[in-house]
Amino acid sequence: MKKVKFVFALHNHQPVGNFGHVYEEAYQKSYLPLVEALREYPDFRFNLHYTGDLFAWLDREHPDYMGMLREMVQQGQVEMLTGGYYEPILALLPDADKVGQILKLSDYIEKRFGRRPTGMWLAERVWEPHLPAPIAAAGVDYVVVDDFHFKMAGLRDEDLTGYYVTEEQGHAIKVFPGSERLRYTLPFMEPEETIKYFKGLLGSGCGCGSGHNPLAAMADDGEKFGVWPGTHKWVYKDGWLKRFMKALAASSDWVEPTTFGDYIKEEGPMGRFYLPTSSYMEMGEWSLPPAAMREYDHFVAELNNDPEFDLKRLFVKGGFFRNFLYKYPESNAMHKRMLQVSAKVHRALAATGGSRHERDAMLDALYQGQCNDAFWHGVFGGLYLPHLRDAVYRGLIKAEEAAERILAGESGDPLSLEVADMDGDLAEEVFVTNGSVALLMKPSDGGTLTEFDFRPVSMNLMDNLSRTEEAYHDKIKDAAHEEEKPACGAAKTIHDAVRVKEKGLSDYLVYDWYRRASLIDHFLGPDAGLDDFRRCRYDEAGDFVKGAYTVKTSRTKERVKTTLERLGVVSGMPVRVVKTVVVRKESSGFEADYEITNEGTEELNAAFGVEFNFSLLAGDAFDRYFEIPGHTLKARNFASAGELNNVRSVRMVDDWLGYEMELSLGHEAALWRFPVETVSQSEAGYERVFQSSCLTPVWRVSLAPGVPWKVRLGLNIRRK
């Protein structure tokens, strides 16, 4: 008698840099109660995947739980899955890091649980056709993706009742399709819906030969069994899990829980198949630009009314994961910095310097900087969460510092200069380090400073995020005057829930027309004020903000000098801006000398401002604040706003992380300050997030023809 072989596979993950209380809440609401409950059903075999950072936290905080997992693995109830240790998107990594991340987690699992994993979880199911080669090189036998991957290439449900073999240049692996249908029924619908689906697999003929036992695989996030809104009550207190296990027991003569590895032992492949570039269907939607995303949503909604929807949706795929790097320039900047650091790390690994411990720590820091969550955004906060981006940069900064130390040797010069296309846009960037700070400048985009690392605290203090239009902002505008109705009945999937976490969010839907960097050169219209500037509703009289600057660099033993120059236009008149950024060998900061010259024949009166954006992580914390000499601030937290005249310097103090940064302005200026706040969606609802503090000194200047106006700005940082 044929049986439906049911694989229940859960992926448990917390991103690097997430808060400890988030780990603990997920543990108490999902990780612990689910495993404890399933342990009571020893015949229920299933797959589990945990990412390396979560394993490390569990080892440290809940060793008894890890002991329970080991016992279940040893008894054969649980089969562990490997993957990238810090949950990277494999397709975005150099091949050496793909293999290294997988081997690191496989080695950990074998050591901790006594069995080496043969299958792997693919982060966000992001598949590209080149992946079989590095996956096979890491010793992996099979991988799990969505059935959507197969359907995009023409297979139907009846073709997806087993697994397939795929390959790249002869490197073959097995690929399992996880059921999208089961992702939406478990645990959000009553168990009868799942049993009905199982019966359909037996009754359809399965498109398979005699003796083939059809596979039904549910492979999805473990957090949906307790952490997602409403699911803890629904799964445990309302008894969904007990009802589901009871329904399985009642169907045990024709439904058999198993694992991917055991299914391979019992059933051969259904053939060879090649998967297209893809992820799950929702990811294709999220990676689209806003206008295309609206059109996509409208099209899918119309298609839902078509009785042949299931047949036609095979040809609806949305976008491509890598275009998050287009959608969010800050994501691309992180990714390309990761590639730059990876290359340095592997050069250092090939060199002879450094102890084994130092080299292992360097590689681990690089891997931490590859954690996927901060590189994209969907229904979870992802890229919009500053602490996740900060964790990525912390890993990269630590890895880069270690690599440079090994490559330079103990007597090496910490002062270095690199000029190259570092972000893949065919234009050169400038990267300067002196062992204490690192600066990344982008001449082609306003001659701006896009990264400023302070290595003693491993922090990029200009890890900013621009305010970007999102298609789901339409829902916030539509709901601006509506009150949220209380949830009732079964838990909704995270894709269906709509929650606004505070009133008035629509007032914060402001979009930047340029990237929030630093050393941004503004010539402001005569009516520009702080509020209009903050909301991007002012007139820009010049063409310098996004204009291309020429660049010249020079280096001596004591300093690196970068000269950025642009001949542009202000109110129809030619104006030349030259800014020279100097990083000295022994400094913990830089100087920026400005020289502005009216190249026209008439006097020009203008308001000139230099915009800085500092990613200071906590906008309202009492121990992170501004100090402005000569002025008393009513509110001094980093999310405060205001305009002050006659300012010569401003200090930013972080007592929590232990540093103090001072921006000196040269001449007295009017200082505008305000928080840059985004509005994004998360699993808990739509929310406002503090991204950075914008500081813009503004000078009223009268420029006679040919007579330069000069000012020296300085930024210095020190440990407290």
How far is residue 154's CA from residue 43's CA, in Å, rounded to a whole number? 36
Of the candidates 285, 295, 370, the residue with the CA atom closest to the CA atom of residue 323: 285
At residue 411, the pLDDT reads 55
Q: Left (φ > 0), alpha (ψ -120 to 50) or beta: where does 476 sit?
A: alpha
At residue 498, the pLDDT reads 52
DSSP state for residue 401 in the 8-state scheme: H
Of the candidates 43, 65, 42, 40, the residue with the CA atom closest to the CA atom of residue 55: 65
pLDDT digits (tens, 9 = 90+) for 148-163: 999 999 999 999 999 9
Beta-sheet pairing, 171-178 with 142-146: parallel
What CA–CA distances, in Å, run from 413 to 256, 416, 433, 558? 65, 8, 10, 10
Concatenated DSSP letters for 34-60? HHHHHHT-TT--EEEEE-HHHHHHHHH
3-state secondary structure of 202: helix
Which helix (DSSP H) or strand (DSSP E) does residue 626 occupy? strand 624-627
What CA–CA distances, in Å, run from 139 to 119, 164, 482? 9, 18, 54
pTM: 0.94
How far is residue 578's CA from residue 569's CA, in Å, rounded to a whole number? 14
How far is residue 640's CA from residue 646's CA, in Å, rounded to a whole number? 19
Told to judge if 401 belongs to the known catalytic residues of this protein, a careful annotator would answer no
- Alpha-carbon Rg for the chain, nearest whole angstrom, is 28
3-state secondary structure of 435: coil
Told to judge if 221 belongs to the known catalytic residues of this protein, a careful annotator would answer yes
Angle between helices 356-368 and 329-350 (to 10 degrees): 160
Of the candidates 273, 582, 305, 348, the residue with the CA atom closest to the CA atom of residue 449: 582
Residue 565 β-bridge partners: 550, 578
Cα dihedral sign, 288-291-297-302: negative
At residue 207, the pLDDT reads 47
At residue 309, the pLDDT reads 83
Q: How far is CA 400 from the centre of its chain?
A: 20
Angle at 93 between CA 390 and CA 160, to 5 degrees: 115
Please enumerate in sequence order all residues whose Cβ is within 8 A of that of 705, keeping only pairs 6 or more positions apart, or say none: 598, 599, 600, 601, 602, 603
What CA–CA distances, in Å, run from 718 to 207, 391, 618, 632? 68, 21, 19, 23
At residue 550, the pLDDT reads 98
What type of residue sits at position 33?
P
3-state secondary structure of 696: strand
At residue 110, the pLDDT reads 98
3-state secondary structure 552-608: EEEECCCEEEEEEEEEEEECCEEEEEEEEEEEECCCCEEEEEEEEEECCCCCEEEEE
Residue 559 β-bridge partners: 584
pLDDT digits (tens, 9 = 90+) for 565-586: 999 999 999 999 999 999 999 9
CB 527: neighbour CB atoms within 10 A?
8
Of the candidates 422, 374, 410, 381, the residue with the CA atom closest to the CA atom of residue 395: 374
Among 124, 220, 330, 451, the one annotated catalytic: 124
CB distance 309 to 179 below 8 Å: no
What CA–CA distances, in Å, run from 705 to 441, 521, 576, 599, 712? 30, 20, 11, 6, 21
* Placement of tokens 């204490």 in the chain: 436
At residue 485, the pLDDT reads 46
CB distance 461 to 452 below 8 Å: yes
DSSP state for residue 396 in the 8-state scheme: H
At residue 527, the pLDDT reads 87
How far is residue 387's CA from residue 274's CA, in Å, rounded to a whole number? 38
Please enumerate in sequence order all residues whose Cβ is within 8 A of that of 482, keeping only pairs 6 or more positions apart, or say none: none
* Placement of tokens 């790249």 in the chain: 168
Please enumerate in sequence order all residues whose Cβ is within 8 A of that of 155, keeping only pairs 6 or more positions apart, or say none: 273
How far is residue 191's CA from residue 229's CA, in Å, rounded to a whole number? 20
CB distance 27 to 225 below 8 Å: no
How far is residue 288's CA from residue 209's CA, in Å, rounded to a whole number? 40
pLDDT digits (tens, 9 = 90+) for 605-662: 999 999 999 999 999 999 999 999 999 999 999 999 999 999 999 999 999 999 999 9
* Placement of tokens 């542009």 in the chain: 568
CB distance 598 to 575 below 8 Å: yes
Structure token digits, residue 516: 């929030």
In this prediction, the residues of the chain whose per-residue pLDDT falls under 70 are 204-210, 410-411, 481-499
CB distance 267 to 213 below 8 Å: yes
Residue 11 β-bridge partners: 49, 221
What type of residue sits at position 321?
F
CB distance 275 to 92 below 8 Å: no
What CA–CA distances, in Å, run from 32 to 186, 236, 466, 491? 18, 12, 38, 20
CB 470: neighbour CB atoms within 10 A?
22
Q: How far is CA 531 from the centre of its chain?
A: 30
Among 24, 168, 180, 221, the one annotated catalytic: 221
At residue 602, the pLDDT reads 95
Angle between helices 386-408 and 356-368 (to 10 degrees): 150
